[in-house]
């Protein structure tokens, strides 16, 4: 197959000094990364560029930024490294964004290679590694290498302190109880269930921690728990000493769909998940009850724990985390952790609570803008800003769940996302306050502008959405219902992503089950249709359909076909046809998004770069 170009651009490369005597120099080169090689050439005015080097991607063992503490002797000041064939290639990018683009793309293309476990974050210089002082150039690295990491936008990692051993057993670890999006420059993002090194836990509200890449920063102390041995007591879903009967009483009393807990089974060393559901029984009648699932263990392999067949995990917290987002064989998703001892709950005295609660006194409601899944949407005014207010009809939303999640959602901030300013829970019905988007939803906008949109404008729309989605992807947040109808257009014609994550709170079965009429089958990937397996890669599939909507000026995908017919044609390997207005390169991107296997689809980070380079060319 012909290699596909991923990135290209001018950067400066340092000589690789293959021999001890070879000179050290810095040369401007034109780099091209395609699906097979990283090539660099010399540009010669009036002549064909001359290829000066070519690195096979399969030979790359590490691609990472360099944290330099020395002044850089060339014009481009943002170094990164490519370790290949026992050589270190140092490349200098003109700015940090450019560097991150290249590192991310290289990581994406090499993530299945035989990679280094650890790398050197600083330069090899004057016969030693500046990070760990080792004097052997091929000595193993001193920092854990993250093969898929989204190169951090935060300040560069602090260099390791040569006196401290990161493997030291005396080190205290914490585990994130939930995601945290940084509020300031000194903060570090947290990913639920990930472990971090505790650097300083003396302050009552803010703890200093270090992540896997060596980044240091602060997080609210209520978002993490000290890791103690192998027990699950830090998790809000775990009840150690509770019988089956007590678990049933507690969950029935809670009475919320998906209320669950993990408890010890009677059999030693075995755990059971108990979950409350009101789902209709086989006779079709509502039947509130508690179901119990034993966590099973496969005989062999690295990932062994499972609840329902097919979904194997190496740890129980990972398994629970997955089923908190996907029912995948259970009667319902695990929505609501219930515990006898609520002391680990984040709610009481939450220092951040006020930041998302909208005071009803400050909110004025105006005329109707439209109506949607959850009820009416009104124009409004809040703190002198024009806002859109979604009034949530009570029977439409599982609002207890939503209130917990709203805190996370208000902290997702990106100029290509429609900002959720806050939630007004003191008013009935509850309402959500959003950034106001003058030109309404993208699907209506496309149809209204039919015949007037240039190809550039359409590219710009796709680029906008890919930017918002790349941010969600990097925040480990899954949209679940990406489509032109869920994007909005601003006064300045920017397109922003809206309604992210909201389908989880819809109570209408017709919408939430893939078998039912309102489920957005035409935007859903095969693994979502088959097993409700949502991921950023299922969002990527939907994004392919959204690009198709843009380039058909708002046509409905698979216009005259029923959901069942669409499923059949997807199973037969058929896909939407190329829109007449879409350039070939854009159609290729769509097809890439519609690869059967999620791992064969590009990430949003990569789609963003592809679209950006197509827009510039
Ligand atoms: P739901 O998420 O409840 O299904 P929608 O997001 O589809 O509701 O909103 C319904 C309509 O309300 C949209 O088509 C749009 O016209 C209008 N609307 C929604 N959010 C905004 C907003 N932030 N700014 C302006 N108009 C909006």
More confident residue, 381 or 309: 381
Q: What is the pLDDT of residue 399?
A: 62
- Are the C-beta atoms of 438 and 488 separated by less than 8 Å? no
DSSP category for residue 417: B
Q: How far is the CA of 372 from the centre of ligand 1 (A)?
A: 6
Q: 354-435: what fold?
A: Phosphorylase Kinase; domain 1 (3.30.200)
Q: Whose C-alpha lies nearest to ligand 1, atom 20?
A: 388
3-state DSSP assignment of residue 147: coil
Q: Name beta bridge partners: 271.
A: 264
pLDDT (mean) for 224-235:
61
Ligand 1 atom index nearest CA of 437 = 24
Q: What is the CA radius of gyration of the chain?
A: 26
Q: Whose C-alpha lies nearest to ligand 1, atom 8?
A: 372
Q: Which residues contact 343 (CB under 8 A, 6 or more apart)?
A: none
Q: Supply φ then ψ for residue 459, to 5 degrees.
A: -60, -45
pLDDT (mean) for 16-25:
75
Q: How far is the CA of 283 from the centre of ligand 1 (A)?
A: 38
pLDDT tens digit sequence for 256-268: 889 999 998 877 6
* CA-based end-to-end distance of the chain: 23
Is residue 344 over pLDDT 60?
Answer: no
Which residue spans of the chain are classified as CATH 3.30.200.20? 354-435
Q: Whose C-alpha lies nearest to ligand 1, atom 21?
A: 388
Ligand 1 atom index nearest CA of 499 = 2
Q: Supply φ then ψ for residue 554, to 5 degrees.
A: 90, 20
Is residue 342 over pLDDT 70?
Answer: no
Q: Whose C-alpha lies nearest to ligand 1, atom 26?
A: 440
CATH class of domain segment(s) 240-333: alpha beta
Which residue spans of the chain are classified as CATH 1.10.510.10? 442-616
Is residue 162 over pLDDT 60?
Answer: no
* Strand-pair category, 271-277 with 495-497: unpaired
**Whether residue 481 lies in the annotated active site:** yes
Which residue spans of the chain are classified as CATH 2.30.30.40? 173-226
Q: What is the pLDDT of residue 383?
A: 77
Q: Which residues contact 526 (CB under 8 A, 6 or more apart)?
A: 570, 571, 596
Is residue 178 over pLDDT 50?
Answer: yes
State the CB neighbour count (10 A cutoff) for residue 433. 24
Q: What is the pLDDT of residue 512?
A: 52
Q: What is the pLDDT of residue 233?
A: 65
C-alpha torsion 424→427→431→433, nearest 10: -40
* Strand-pair category, 5-14 with 26-34: antiparallel
pLDDT tens digit sequence for 467-524: 999 988 887 788 889 999 999 999 889 999 998 877 666 555 554 555 556 678 999 9
Q: Is the peptide bond before 311 cis (omega within 30 degrees of 0)?
A: no
- H-only helix segments in 354-432: 399-410
DSSP category for residue 158: P
Q: How far is the CA of 523 from the centre of ligand 1 (A)?
A: 19
Q: Count Cα neighbours of 101 within 13 Å in the Cβ-side half-sphere.
A: 23
pLDDT (mean) for 354-374:
83
**What DSSP line would sit under 315-375, residue for residue?**
SHHHHHHHHHH--TTSSS---EE--S-GGG-S-TT-TTGGGTBPPGGGEEEEEEEEEETTE
* Residue 91 pLDDT level (bands cut at 50, 70, 90): very high
| Residues contacting ligand 1 via CB (< 6 Å) | 369-374, 377, 388, 390, 418, 434-437, 440-441, 488, 498-499
Q: How far is the CA of 53 from the centre of ligand 1 (A)?
A: 52
* Residue 582 pLDDT level (bands cut at 50, 70, 90): very high
Annotated catalytic residue: which of 399, 464, 481, 499?
A: 481
Q: How far is the CA of 371 from the centre of ligand 1 (A)?
A: 7
Taken in order 446, 448, 451, 454, the sign of the CA dihedral is negative
Q: What is the pLDDT of residue 533?
A: 84
Is residue 302 over pLDDT 70?
Answer: no
- Are the C-beta atoms of 30 and 39 separated by less than 8 Å? no
Ligand 1 atom index nearest CA of 374 = 3
Ligand 1 atom index nearest CA of 438 = 25
pLDDT (mean) for 580-601:
96
Taken in order 344, 347, 350, 352, the sign of the CA dihedral is positive
CATH for 442-616, options being 3.40.1010.10, 3.40.640.10, 1.10.3720.10, 1.10.510.10: 1.10.510.10
- Are the C-beta atoms of 4 and 609 separated by less than 8 Å? no
- Tell me how far the alpha carbon of residue 420 is from its chain's centroid: 18
Q: What is the pLDDT of residue 153?
A: 31
Most confident of 20-24, 55-59, 201-205, 395-399: 55-59
Ligand 1 pocket: which of 367, 370, 446 to mutate (most atoms <8 Å of CB)? 370
Ligand 1 atom index nearest CA of 498 = 6
Q: Rounded CA gap, 327 and 258, in Å?
A: 10
* Architecture of the 173-226 domain: Roll (2.30)
Q: How far is the CA of 413 from the centre of ligand 1 (A)?
A: 19
Q: Whose C-alpha lies nearest to ligand 1, atom 9?
A: 372
Q: How far is the CA of 375 from the centre of ligand 1 (A)?
A: 10
Which residue spans of the chain are classified as CATH 3.30.505.10? 240-333
More confident residue, 135 or 163: 135
Q: List the one residue out of 442, 356, 455 whose CA is nearest residue 407.
A: 356
Ligand 1 atom index nearest CA of 375 = 3
Ligand 1 atom index nearest CA of 434 = 23
Q: How far is the CA of 510 from the centre of ligand 1 (A)?
A: 20
pLDDT (mean) for 292-318:
75
CATH class of domain segment(s) 5-144: mainly beta
**Region class of 160: left (phi > 0), else alpha (psi between -120 and 50), else beta:** beta
Ligand 1 pocket: which of 373, 377, 430 to mutate (most atoms <8 Å of CB)? 377
Q: What is the pLDDT of residue 421?
A: 84
State the CB neighbour count (10 A cutoff) for residue 475. 21
Q: Rounded CA gap, 84 and 174, in Å?
A: 35
Ligand 1 pocket: which of 441, 484, 497, 508 to mutate (most atoms <8 Å of CB)? 441
Q: Whose C-alpha lies nearest to ligand 1, atom 23?
A: 436
pLDDT tens digit sequence for 536-562: 999 999 999 999 999 999 999 999 899
pLDDT tens digit sequence for 101-148: 899 889 988 988 888 888 898 898 888 888 888 888 888 888 778 887
Tokens in use for 171? 């080190």
* Residue 575 pLDDT level (bands cut at 50, 70, 90): very high
Q: What is the pLDDT of residue 154?
A: 29
Which residue spans of the chain are classified as CATH 2.30.29.30? 5-144
Q: What is the pLDDT of residue 507?
A: 53
Q: List the one residue out of 526, 551, 393 whose CA is nearest residue 463.
A: 551
Place of tokens 């209130």: 403
- Are the C-beta atoms of 420 and 406 separated by less than 8 Å? yes
pLDDT (mean) for 592-601:
95
Is residue 440 over pLDDT 90?
Answer: yes
Q: Rounded CA gap, 234 and 20, in Å?
A: 54
Tokens in use for 485? 């109808």
State the CB neighbour count (10 A cutoff) for residue 506. 17
Look over the chain and give the mean of its residue pLDDT values, rounded to a whole number: 82
* Residue 164 pLDDT level (bands cut at 50, 70, 90): very low
Is residue 362 over pLDDT 50?
Answer: yes
Q: How far is the CA of 435 from the centre of ligand 1 (A)?
A: 11
């Amino acid at each position: 197959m012909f290699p596909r170009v991923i990135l290209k651009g001018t950067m400066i490369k340092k000589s690789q000094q293959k021999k001890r005597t070879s000179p050290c120099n810095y040369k401007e080169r034109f780099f091209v990364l395609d699906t097979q090689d990283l090539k660099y050439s010399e540009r010669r005015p009036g002549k064909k560029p001359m290829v000066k080097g070519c690195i096979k991607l399969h030979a790359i063992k590490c691609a990472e930024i360099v944290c330099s503490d020395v002044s850089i002797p060339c014009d481009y000041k943002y170094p990164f490294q490519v370790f290949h064939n026992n050589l270190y290639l140092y490349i200098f990018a003109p700015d940090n964004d450019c560097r991150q683009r290249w590192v991310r793309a290289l990581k994406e293309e090499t993530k299945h290679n035989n990679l280094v476990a650890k790398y050197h974050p600083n330069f090899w210089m004057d016969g030693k590694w500046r990070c760990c002082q080792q004097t052997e150039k091929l000595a193993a690295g001193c920092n854990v290498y993250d093969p898929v990491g989204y190169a951090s936008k935060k300040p560069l990692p602090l260099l390791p302190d040569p006196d401290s051993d990161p493997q030291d057993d005396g080190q205290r670890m914490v585990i994130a109880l939930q995601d945290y999006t940084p509020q300031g420059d000194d903060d570090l993002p947290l990913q639920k269930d990930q472990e971090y090194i505790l650097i300083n836990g003396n302050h009552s509200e803010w703890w200093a921690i270090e992540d896997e890449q060596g980044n240091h920063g602060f997080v609210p102390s209520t978002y993490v728990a000290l890791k103690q041995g192998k027990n699950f007591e830090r998790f809000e879903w775990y009840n150690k000493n509770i019988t089956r009967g007590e678990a049933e009483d507690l969950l029935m009393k809670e009475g919320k769909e998906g209320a669950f807990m993990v408890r010890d089974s009677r059999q030693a060393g075995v755990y059971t998940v108990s979950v409350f559901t009101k789902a209709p029984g086989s006779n079709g009648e509502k039947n509130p009850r508690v179901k119990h699932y034993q966590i099973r263990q496969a005989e062999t392999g690295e990932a062994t724990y499972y609840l329902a067949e097919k979904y194997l995990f190496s740890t129980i917290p990972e398994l629970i985390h997955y089923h908190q987002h996907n029912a995948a064989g259970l009667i319902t998703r695990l929505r609501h952790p219930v515990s006898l001892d609520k002391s680990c709950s984040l709610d009481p005295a939450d220092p951040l609570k006020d930041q998302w609660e909208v005071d009803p006194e400050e909110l004025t409601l105006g005329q109707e803008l439209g109506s949607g899944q959850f009820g009416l949407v009104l124009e409004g005014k809040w703190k002198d800003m024009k806002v859109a207010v979604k009034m949530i009809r009570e029977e439409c939303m599982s609002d207890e769940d939503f209130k917990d999640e709203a805190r996370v959602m208000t902290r997702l901030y990106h100029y290509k996302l429609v900002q959720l300013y806050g939630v007004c829970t003191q008013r009935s019905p509850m309402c959500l306050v959003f950034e106001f988007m003058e030109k309404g939803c993208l699907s209506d906008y496309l149809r209204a502008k039919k015949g007037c949109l240039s190809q550039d404008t359409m590219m710009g729309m796709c680029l906008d959405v890919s930017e918002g989605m790349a941010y969600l992807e990097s925040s480990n947040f899954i949209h679940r219902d990406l489509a032109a109808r869920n994007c909005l257009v601003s006064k300045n014609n920017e397109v922003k992503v809206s309604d992210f994550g909201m389908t989880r709170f819809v109570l209408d079965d017709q919408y939430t089950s893939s078998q039912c009429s309102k489920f957005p089958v035409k935007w859903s990937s095969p693994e979502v249709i088959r097993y409700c397996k949502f991921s950023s890669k299922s969002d990527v599939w939907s994004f392919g359909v959204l690009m198709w909507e843009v380039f058909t000026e708002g046509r409905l995908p698979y216009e005259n076909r029923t959901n069942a017919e669409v499923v059949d044609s997807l199973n037969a390997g058929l896909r939407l046809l190329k829109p007449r207005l879409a350039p070939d390169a854009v159609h290729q991107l769509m097809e890439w998004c519609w690869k059967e296997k999620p791992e064969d689809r590009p990430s949003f980070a990569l789609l963003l770069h592809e679209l950006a380079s197509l827009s510039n060319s």
